[in-house]
Amino acid sequence: MKRLLAVTLGILTAIGGFVDIGDLVANALVGSRYGFALAWVVPVGVVGICLYAEMCGRVAAISGRPVFDLIRERLGPRLGLANLAASFLVTALTLTAEIGGVALALELATSVNYLLWVPLVGFLVWLVIWRVGFARMEQVFGLAGLLLIVFAVALWKLGPDWGQVLHDASHPALPPGEGLPTYLYYAIALFGAAMTPYEVFFFSSGGVEEHWTRRDVGVARSNVFIGFPLGGVLSLAIMGCTALVFFPLGVGVDTLGQVAMPPAVALGKVGLAIVLVGIFAATFGAALETGLSAGYTVAQYFGWQWGKFVRPLQAARFHGVTLLTIVVGVMVMLTTVDPIKVTEYSIVFSAVALPLTYLPILIVANDPEYMGERVNGRISNTLGTVYLVLVLAASLAAIPLMIATKAGQ
């Protein structure tokens, strides 16, 4: 019974923790511009993240070593350092976007300019990382993030013609006036948002933080295979909401206020209140995860003590990196750069960095020296290779498409 409760809690946390500012913005924006014509990218991204997060969870449970620790062992110090630089920058950029997202959610709730919230949000993110235990932190923000289910309720209340929705989603067509490069650019952005590199760094380091062993492989799998797809359903619900409310009007979503509008339209003030708390929890939770991930990647490359399972004094450099990254993120946000733009860039650069993250995972998950007989099976390897090709194509196309489409304009 207790075991079942733990598994359920893990799954619920995974659902709530799946959506972050990148998913919110990308799905809402794509829904408003393309209706359901890009909905197919979400399941493609979700299968990819499930596949590789499962490998990471298994590696962490069997070898007791998180992913980034092993990346350097397999790529060597030079390529490992290049990988660290790219992964760290993308993670720090994502952290900056999450801080902006939390501040925007607070602005929507209070009408106090988000710039005034940014330093306070940065401080609170750091304070939670400094003080709150790993499991409690994950559970509180994961469960609160579940409030985003309000998007699914709103979608149901908006009452679309489901047959038509299914037809639009399964027969993707370019809306009039939209070019193919822009369509592909947003496909890559959506893919990058679903497969953000920090998710696997965090998932595998989290496994070590929670002292997973061989026996926990099942728990890790249930989180990944049930929690992440349900998180993907939330992403689709967000896209569906803006597709129904904004797409027919020809209005493109470019503020977080517009993202929160459909639940308000469908469910009134209560819907708006719930969606604001949900967005706050989801982005705050993701800010914690990206802040920690910034520390994890650097500490794991250099072999420093890391983690929240020891006193901060014992992992001084790790906490130092985390603190510094949050401070820089806050300072970048305070330059009055548009948080939504930062989010868009963070997911496109995530897409660029994807192969660096996912290739070493595939290599390590096949290494019997770490994994014993729990190396990848045939299905994991076949799908893993297919996804590696996809990820590589998305990575190579991302920057040229960004330049050609002027970042999707």
Of the pair 89, 273, the CB lying nearest another protein is at 89
Q: Return the closest-CA partner of residue 319 out of 339, 305, 329.
A: 305
- Give, as one character, the DSSP assignment of residue 247: G
99-158 positions binding another protein, by CB under 8 A: 130-136
Applying CB under 8 A, among 3, 4, 369, 403 the residue interacting with another protein is 369
* CA 74/CA 370 separation, integer angstroms: 12
* Euclidean distance between the first and the last CA atom of the chain, given in angstroms as a whole number: 53
219-258 positions binding another protein, by CB under 8 A: none
Distances (CA, A) of 340 to 75, 97, 358: 34, 7, 26
Of the pair 274, 288, the CB lying nearest another protein is at 288
Q: How far is the CB of 207 from another protein (least distance, A)?
A: 14
Of the pair 22, 206, the CB lying nearest another protein is at 206
- Give, as one character, the DSSP assignment of residue 335: T
Applying CB under 8 A, among 312, 327, 341, 383 the residue interacting with another protein is 312
Of the pair 225, 302, the CB lying nearest another protein is at 302
Are 195 and 49 a contacting pair, CB within 8 Å?
yes
Of the pair 317, 341, the CB lying nearest another protein is at 317
277-306 positions binding another protein, by CB under 8 A: 299, 302-306
* CA 237/CA 18 separation, integer angstroms: 13
Dihedral of the alpha carbons of 346, 43, 47, 91, in degrees to the nearest 10:
10
Applying CB under 8 A, among 120, 270, 310, 331 the residue interacting with another protein is 310
User: Taking CB under 8 A as the rule, does residue 313 contact another protein?
Assistant: yes
Q: Return the closest-CA partner of residue 172 out of 42, 27, 35, 43.
A: 35
Kindly list the residues in this chain that would bind another protein in the complex (CB under 8 A).
Answer: 63-65, 69, 72-73, 76-78, 80-81, 130-136, 299, 302-306, 308-314, 316-317, 319-320, 323, 369-370
